């Protein structure tokens, strides 16, 4: 049996969370999985809350960005967003935990740094880069919570919500009733990409607008999503 270390404890915690859900996590349970007394954990972790913070930090550190600096910024932020989504799929239950607590670790700052740098290179001002990155994070967090929160167990869920939505009162909720098949359809990938594309194109348009305001001659629509004519927002 290898020695008890902080990384081993964090790994055991993540394992337990993914296998049995966050509610099943207890210091005694983790210790038992490691073949160790409950109190021994406290030699490496100051409290249960600190352990969960460490779990969050680890999950965030697993995000691996593969975006090519040579690509257009639109493609780069798309790839970065997909990287975040990927770890949400690798650690679905833990991801809920990560998103439920404020970011406090350098591991969480790294993706932020990367996104901000990409946007600055694309020509966004500091203010706009922050605004844009905030909007993206909001969309990411909201999307992944929906995708992942719908997973009560590793079981494929199949008919639970299906049966639920099928019995809504069609007179009270005509739209929900009529669109139930679509609302139930679980093509998370398609839904995620739809919103992501929407956001990216909207931001691309705005970047062009602000660029034209500063240097009207430089209107050179490199992206094919250009709107060559249009009024800025009021």
Closest-CA residue to 71 (of 118, 26, 12, 136) = 118
Find which of DNA, a copy of itself, none residue 157 binds, CB within 5 to 8 Å per kind: none
Q: Does 4 bind DNA (CB under 7 A)?
A: yes
Backbone angles phi, psi at 162, to 5 degrees: -55, -55
Nearer to a copy of itself, 34 or 144 (CB): 144
Neighbours of 58 (CB within 10 A): 19
Told to check if 150 binds DNA by CB under 7 A, we report: no
End-to-end CA distance of the chain: 66
Provide CB contacts within 8 A for 194, sequence distance 6+: none
Contacts of 157 (CB under 8 A, 6+ apart): 150, 151
Residues 16-45: x where in contact with DNA by CB under 7 A, - otherwise, as a string: ---------xxxxx-x----xxxxx-xxx-
Torsion angles phi and psi, residue 67, rounded to 5:
-70, 140
Binding site for a copy of itself (CB under 8 A): 96, 99-102, 104, 106, 109-110, 112-113, 116-117, 120, 126-127, 129-131, 134-135, 137-143, 145-146, 149-150, 152, 161, 164, 168-169, 172-176, 178-179, 182-183, 191, 194-195, 197-199, 201-203, 205-206, 224-231, 233-234
**Residues in Cβ contact with 101 at an 8 Å cutoff, skipping those fewer than 6 apart:** 52, 53, 56
Q: Which is nearer to DNA, 4 or 11 (CB)?
A: 4
Tell me: does residue 100 bind DNA (CB under 7 A): no
Binding site for DNA (CB under 7 A): 3-4, 25-29, 31, 36-40, 42-44, 47-49
């Amino acid at each position: 049996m290898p020695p008890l270390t902080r990384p081993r404890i964090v790994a055991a915690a993540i394992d337990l969370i993914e296998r049995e859900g966050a509610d099943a996590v207890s210091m005694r349970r983790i210790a038992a999985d490691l073949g160790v007394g409950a109190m021994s954990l406290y030699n490496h972790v100051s409290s249960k809350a600190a352990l969960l913070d460490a779990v969050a930090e680890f999950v965030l550190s697993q995000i691996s960005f593969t975006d090519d600096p040579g690509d257009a910024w639109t493609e780069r932020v798309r790839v970065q967003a997909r990287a975040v989504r990927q770890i949400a799929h690798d650690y679905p239950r833990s991801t809920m935990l990560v998103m439920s607590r404020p970011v406090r670790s350098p591991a969480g700052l790294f993706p932020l740094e990367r996104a901000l740098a990409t946007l600055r290179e694309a020509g966004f001002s500091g203010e706009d880069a922050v605004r844009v990155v905030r909007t993206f994070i909001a969309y990411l967090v909201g999307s992944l919570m929906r995708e992942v929160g719908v997973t009560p167990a590793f079981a494929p869920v199949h008919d639970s919500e299906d049966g639920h939505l099928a019995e809504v009162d069609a007179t009270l909720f005509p739209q929900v009733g009529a669109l139930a098949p679509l609302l139930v359809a679980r093509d998370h990938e398609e839904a995620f990409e739809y919103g992501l594309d929407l956001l990216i194109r909207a931001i691309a348009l705005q970047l062009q607008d602000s660029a034209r305001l500063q240097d009207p001659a430089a209107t050179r629509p490199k992206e094919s999503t250009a709107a060559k004519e249009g009024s800025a927002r009021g």
